[in-house]
Amino acid sequence: MFSVTENPIRIGIVPTLEFCGLAVWKYADDNLTHLLTASGSELSANLRLDNQILQLKSTGSEMSSRQTKPPSSLTFQNSDGSIITTLQADWKIQHPGTSYGWVTDNATLKVIQGNQTTELSVFASFGCQFLFY
The DSSP annotation for 69-95 comes to: S--SEEEEE-TTSSEEEEEE---EESS
State pLDDT tens for residues 50-63. Answer: 888 999 998 876 66
**Rounded CA separation 41/108 (Å):** 23
Q: What is the dihedral of CA 64, 65, 69, 71, to 10 degrees?
A: 40
Residue 88 and residue 79: Cα distance in Å, rounded?
22
Confidence of residue 132 (pLDDT cuts 50, 70, 90): very low
Evaluate whether 94 touches 104 at the Cβ level (below 8 Å): no
Quote the CA–CA distance of 89 and 108 in Å, as a whole number. 6
Question: Whole-model pTM above 0.85?
Answer: no
User: In whole angstroms, what is the distance from residue 28 CA to residue 36 CA?
Assistant: 14
The pLDDT tens digits for 23-56 are 999 998 888 889 999 887 778 899 998 888 999 9
